[in-house]
Amino acid sequence: MHDDPLDDEEEEEPPRNIGRVVFGPREFDTWYHSSAYYFSQKDELKKLTWKRAMALMEAKALDKDKDNHTCDMSRLFIERYSSPSVGTPGGTSSALTSSTISSSGSSANASVAPNDQPPAQVDFQVKQLFVCDSCFKYSKVSKDMAQHRSTCKYVFKHPGETVYKSKDYAIRRVDGAVHKLYCQNLCLFAKLFLDHKSVFFGADAFEFYVVLGKDTASSRHFKPMGFFSKEKLSWDENNLACILVFPPYQRRGLGKLLIEFSYVLSKYEGRKGSPERPLSKFGTLSYMSYWCTTIARFILIECTEDVITIETISEHTYIQPEDVMRALKEMHAVVLYSDEKAKKVQLGGRVLKKSVRRWVNSGNVKLSPVIDESMVFLE
Ligand SMILES: [Zn+2]
Lowest mean pLDDT among 68-82, 127-141, 183-197, 223-237: 68-82
Domain-located, residue 246: yes
Q: Is the CB of residue 298 less than 8 Å from the CB of residue 316?
A: yes
Beta strands per DSSP E along 291-341: 334-336
**Cβ(105)–Cβ(255) under 8 Å?**
yes
Report the 10 Å Cβ neighbour count for 124.
15
Stretch among 115-124, 182-191, 251-260, 270-279 having the lowest mean pLDDT = 115-124
Would you say 241 and 189 are in contact if contact means Cβ atoms under 8 Å apart? no
Determine what percent of the chain is predicted with pLDDT higher than 70: 71
What is the whole-number distance in angstroms between the Cα of residue 36 and the centre of ligand 1?
19
Residue 13 lies in a domain: no
Which value, to the nearest 10 degrees, does the dihedral of the CA atoms of residues 97, 138, 70, 15 take? -30
In the chain, how long is the greatest CA-to-CA distance?
71
| Tens digit of each residue's pLDDT (9 = 90 or more) over 78-102 | 333 222 222 334 333 333 433 344 4
Q: Is residue 50 over pLDDT 80? A: no
Distance CA 313, CA 294 (A): 10
Rounded to the nearest angstrom, the distance between the alpha carbon of 372 and the centre of ligand 1 is 31
Q: What's the whole-number mean pLDDT along residues 205-231?
A: 95
Q: Which is higher by pLDDT, 200 or 228?
A: 228
Percent of the chain whose predicted confidence (pLDDT) is above 90: 60
- What are 276-329's pLDDT values in tens digits? 998 888 889 999 999 999 999 999 999 988 889 999 999 999 999 999 999 999
C-alpha 147 – ligand 1 centre gap (Å): 10
Helix/strand/coil percentages in the chain, nearest 5:
30, 20, 50
Number of Cβ within a 10 Å radius of residue 95: 30
**Is residue 137, in this structure, part of any structural domain at all?**
yes
Average pLDDT over residues 13-40: 88
**Whole-model pTM?**
0.80
Q: How many CB atoms lie within 10 A of CB 57?
A: 21
What was the pLDDT predicted at 307? 86
**Considering only CA atoms, which of 78, 63, 65, 67 is closest in space to residue 144?**
63
> What average pLDDT score do residues 35-49 get?
59
Interval between CA 164 and ligand 1 midpoint (Å): 23
Residue 339 lies in a domain: no
| 367 assigned to some structural domain | no
Over the chain, what is the mean pLDDT? 79
Residue 358 lies in a domain: no
Q: What is the pLDDT of residue 79?
A: 33
Spacing, Cα 156 to ligand 1 middle (Å): 10
Catalytic residue of the set 10, 44, 276, 322: 276
**Strand, helix or coil for residue 263:** helix
154 CA to middle of ligand 1, Å? 6
Identity at 17, one-letter amino acid code: N
CA distance 379 to 367: 26
What is the pLDDT at residue 108?
A: 32
What's the distance, CA 190 to chain centroid? 8
CATH (domain of 143):
3.40.630.30
Query: Within a domain: residue 353?
Result: no
Q: Would 191 be classed as within a structural domain?
A: yes
Residue 35 binned pLDDT confidence (cut-offs 50, 70, 90): confident
Active site residue 260: no
pLDDT given at position 341: 56
Express each pLDDT in 105-116 by its tens digit: 333 333 345 555
Which residues span the domain enclosing 241? Answer: 18-281
| Residue among 363, 375, 374, 325 nearest 106 (CA) | 363
Q: Say what the pLDDT of residue 377 is.
A: 97
Give residue 90's pLDDT.
Answer: 39
Distance 48 CA to ligand 1 centre (A): 30
State in Å: Cα 57 to ligand 1 middle: 19
Rg over alpha carbons for the chain, rounded to the nearest Å, is: 22
Asked if residue 76 has pLDDT above 50, the reply is: no
Distance in Å from the first CA to the final CA of the chain:
50
Query: Number of folded domains in the chain?
Result: 1
Taking the C-alpha atoms of residue 310 and residue 323, their distance in angstroms, rounded to an integer, is 10
Single-letter amino acid, residue 144: D
